[in-house]
Amino acid sequence: MKRRKFIGRSAISLAGISIGSGLIKPHLFAMTKNITPKPIAIATWNFQNATKMAGKMLEDGASALDAVEQGVMVEESNLKNTTVGDGGAPDRDGNVTLDACIMAPNGNAGSVVYLKEIAHPVSVARKVMEETPHVMLAGEGALQFAIQQGFKRKNLLTAESEKAWKEWLEHKKYQPIINIENHDTIGMLCMDKNGDIAGACTTSGLSYKMNGRVGDSPIIGSGLFLDNEVGGAVGTGMGEAIMKSVGSFLIVELMRQGKSPQEACEEAVMRTVRKAPNYKDFQVAYVALNKQGEIGSYCIHKGFSYAKFHEGESSDNPSPSYLDS
């Protein structure tokens, strides 16, 4: 190979394509830039109480894993939030069933699906991750495990949720509501002072879903995925659409290939838009964070935003959308 050509190739290699048989990943360059990571917490929707809790913990030196768990627990406890944790809307038969997952910087993951009567499913998911050889526990087994771990049973159906469900029973129209009152499933990503990333996602799923239905939120790769070398992504909206495109995994892999978080979120939403003829009937939204602390978000319908806590400041950040409404 001529010297000039070789130099040309080397330059491309250093820009992140390849050297010899090895692959140089773009993020490795950024990591060598001597950046001091600034802790950051982001979450789907305007859940600023949750990102504030997590962000302040991170500033005090907490790990991303502890911060993300405590952060989403704020919404699991919020009785006014009828799509997460305690007070979540029931399925069409009146059961409140919760889905949640958590991922650690080392790639470990835990998840619970169709969990009843436990107010903090994210903490049960963490126990699955840390105390069992498994990733996911479902239904009765997940409940038994939670009780063994010391979690207390509780009736999660509030009087308000029961009333709304009984009103729904009168017409039984199953229609996903786009941007339910602007608060919804919480998916959170945190980066701590070491630059390590963790994530969590927790929900009661779609209101009045079929008994037994599980959505994207507890599915590693769908509602949440991260790779501590690259970044992370979380999704919210119509879980069926997110699962069919394995949206969060897709975003992380696109970032690994060099796309910005924004470009990666846009591509993931477009996969759904291109494949689902009825995409106008539901919302799908993603928010992503890369290792350099860059954030991206995109959704089908206007109205989605993400909460952020960074350098002592809390904000709500409206997301660009594919449709104007």
Question: Does residue 85 touch ligand SD4 according to CB under 6 A?
Answer: no
Compute, in degrees rounded to 10, the torsion defined by CA atoms 32, 33, 36, 38. Answer: -100
What's the number of CA atoms in the CB half-sphere (13 Å) around residue 94? 7
Cβ at position 179, least distance to ligand SD4 in Å: 8
> Which positions from 149 to 188 touch ligand SD4 by CB under 6 A, shown as an x/- string?
-----------------------------------xx---
Cβ at position 239, least distance to ligand SD4 in Å: 2
On whether 213 is known to bind a ligand per the annotation, the reply is: yes
On whether 238 is known to bind a ligand per the annotation, the reply is: yes
Q: Are strands 295-299 and 284-290 parallel, antiparallel or unpaired?
A: antiparallel
Please identify, using beta-carbon distances, which residue of 45 and 58 lies nearer to ligand SD4.
Answer: 45
On whether 221 is known to bind a ligand per the annotation, the reply is: no
97 and 206 Cβ atoms separated by less than 8 Å: no
Please give the residues from 208 up to 237 whose contact with ligand SD4 meets the rule CB under 6 A.
215-217, 236-237
Please identify, using beta-carbon distances, which residue of 199 and 215 lies nearer to ligand SD4.
Answer: 215
Please identify, using beta-carbon distances, which residue of 191 and 234 lies nearer to ligand SD4.
Answer: 234
Question: Does residue 82 touch ligand SD4 according to CB under 6 A?
Answer: no
Region of 21 (left: φ > 0; alpha: ψ -120 to 50; beta: rest) is alpha
Q: Residue 269 and residue 278: Cα distance in Å, rounded?
A: 13
308 and 314 Cβ atoms separated by less than 8 Å: yes
Cβ at position 138, least distance to ligand SD4 in Å: 15
89 and 72 Cβ atoms separated by less than 8 Å: no
223 and 121 Cβ atoms separated by less than 8 Å: no
Question: Does residue 88 touch ligand SD4 according to CB under 6 A?
Answer: no
Question: Does residue 276 touch ligand SD4 according to CB under 6 A?
Answer: no
Outline where DSSP puts E strands in 230-273. 231-237
**Bridge partner residues of 307 (DSSP):** 43, 316
Nearest one of 87, 91, 92, 113 to 101, comparing CA atoms = 113
Cβ at position 283, least distance to ligand SD4 in Å: 6
Catalytic residues: 185
Cβ at position 59, least distance to ligand SD4 in Å: 28
Please give the residues from 184 up to 203 whose contact with ligand SD4 meets the rule CB under 6 A.
184-185, 203
Q: Residue 274 and residue 255: Cα distance in Å, rounded?
A: 20
Return binding residues: 213-216, 236-239
Return binding residues for substrate: 213-216, 236-239
Q: Kindly list the residues in this chain that would bind ligand SD4 in the complex (CB under 6 A).
A: 184-185, 203, 205-206, 215-217, 236-239
